[in-house]
Chain A
Amino acid sequence: MLKFTAEHEWLKLEGDVAIVGITQHAADQLGDLVFVELPEVGATFDKNGEAATVESVKAASDVYCPLAGEIVEINEAITADPALVNSDPQGKGWFFKLKLANVADADELLDEAAYKELIG
């Protein structure tokens, strides 16, 4: 099940774990990324906690944790090559896997149609 946030993250839910990344729209708006900082495996975040940082040539942006949970895996490929986030943001450019504190929380998130409407 694919979900989205108004902060331009996507979540692919598999049981109680969500793969999290930023949307194509977000990647396009940020421009070419040159640096990505990911959280540590085992770190826990509340909803909207600052979980990762991405930087373009000009600016730094925070990536929020879309739901409360624990980081169980990170994608080190994007710290080695931040351009992966631009070239394949909803595939190889994923950020981290999040074990949700409460799976039902995901019901509040946007579905793809609602997100597409949001970004116009």
Chain B
Amino acid sequence: MKRRGQAPSTELVRPESAHDLEALLTDHAPLLTTPLHALHLSLGARMVPFAGYDMPVQYAAGVLKEHLHTRAKAGLFDVSHMGQVLVKANSGSVADAALALERLVPVDILGLKQGRQRYGFFTDENGGILDDLMITNRGDHLLVVVNAACKGADLAHMQAHLAGCSVTLLDDRALIALQGPAAETVLASLAPEVATMKFMDVRDVTLVGAACIVSRSGYSGEDGFEISVPATKAEELARALLAHEDCEPIGLGARDSLRLEAGLCLYGNDIDTTTSPIEASLEWAIQKARKAGGEREGGFPGADRILGELANGTERRRVGLKPDGKAPVRSHAKLFADAEGKNEIGEVTSGTFGPSVEGPVAMGYVPTAFASAGTQVFAEVRGKYLPVTVAALPFITPTYKR
């Protein structure tokens, strides 16, 4: 018995994508650890290298049960490897920081109200995606959360291009995600006021005596929160949350299957510098103010291509893919128009078994002519061409508290 395509000693996270590439590049360097590392070990986690960090891929319950627990109750995820970056204008005005960041991100940041969060992405001159990120208006500055594998490059990118701003990596804070229908109950047991927060609200909340920044958002398709906590108080907070009977620790394995069922992109798999936001079906994240005819039209890297694609469409699109059978279709599987493997049309970028869907789920890129839901295509798996139906995303119904 042997794992396909890699050494059997490394478990569960395949060497693909920019995330994993970084892990490979740093394979011989000592792995970084998060402030919750000792907690993971004490909880019996199976640890793997991920983006240069030693991270829990699963705990004793295993990926399948962790996934289902998160959808049924509440899961706690250590996402401290992600980069938390503070962007502050020298003028002290958050509007100046917003206008500066808008030069790198095709999103309406000036229009983002205090205490609100929004999804965005850094684009490059070719209209590709350098990273995706969450942006919060914190009143007198912006708080930006970026992917672990990209945080060094993102920091340099912002420091080089955000004139008149200070850009600071908050490396003394952990980030804990609490996701699932019971997330509100679990967090409200420590701070009742979080119950009144709505999806994408961000507030200062004192938890276990620590000054935390809580957002009502996440990466699972469920209601939930992400909590920025001082590193010194992270384990105490995690243990306090895990003490609730509905809350269990969840590893990176279930984090991946949860986000895929929710139709959310993983940078390095589904989006990268070779994909434009419009090809990636992320045009919903570009608000009117930045589009043609908007108050601050364009003015970000790759604007010509991205605004052109908004007007004229693209040759290919990221779509949901639902394999008709039971076999999972995984990333890098080739897609064909025909069952004989003659006309190759695209590639799967993420694919797994969806525990809540109770079947395989995938995403990938197909020519626009094949992008309508219900279109039949075929995926090559172990020399066979398996029927796959283009499907609307997400695969599950999100339960965000709007």
- Chain A residues with a Cβ under 8 A of chain B: 7-9, 22, 26, 29, 31-32, 34-35, 37, 53-64
Contacts and interface: CB of A to CB of B under 8 A. Distances in A.
Given A31-B63, A32-B62, A34-B64, A55 B1 contact: no
A54 to B, nearest CB: 8
Interface residues of B, number: 28
Nearest to B330: A60
A30 B328 CA distance: 15
Contacts of A63: 1
B12 A59 contact: yes
B64 A22 contact: no
Most buried by B among A32, A53, A58: A58
Contacts, number: 73
B52 to A, nearest CB: 20
Contact of A59 (B14, B65, B327): B14
Contacts of A9: 1
Contacts of A8: 1
Contacts of A35: 326-328, 353, 360
Contacts of A54: 1
B58 interface: yes
A56 B12 CA distance: 9
Contacts of A22: 1
13 contacts: A7-B1, A8-B1, A32-B62, A32-B64, A34-B353, A35-B327, A35-B328, A53-B4, A58-B12, A58-B57, A58-B253, A59-B4, A59-B12
B1 A57 contact: no
Given A26-B1, A35-B328, A64-B1, A55 B64 contact: no
Q: Which 10 A-B pairs have the closest CB atoms?
A: A32-B64, A34-B353, A58-B12, A57-B63, A31-B62, A60-B4, A8-B1, A58-B253, A7-B1, A57-B353
Nearest to B8: A61
Most buried by B among A9, A22, A32, A54: A32
Given A34-B353, A37-B327, A55-B328, A61 B64 contact: no
B142 to A, nearest CB: 35
B4 A57 contact: no
Nearest to B256: A58
Given A61-B3, A62-B1, A64-B2, A55 B353 contact: yes
Contacts of A64: 1-2
A7 B8 CA distance: 10
Nearest to A48: B2
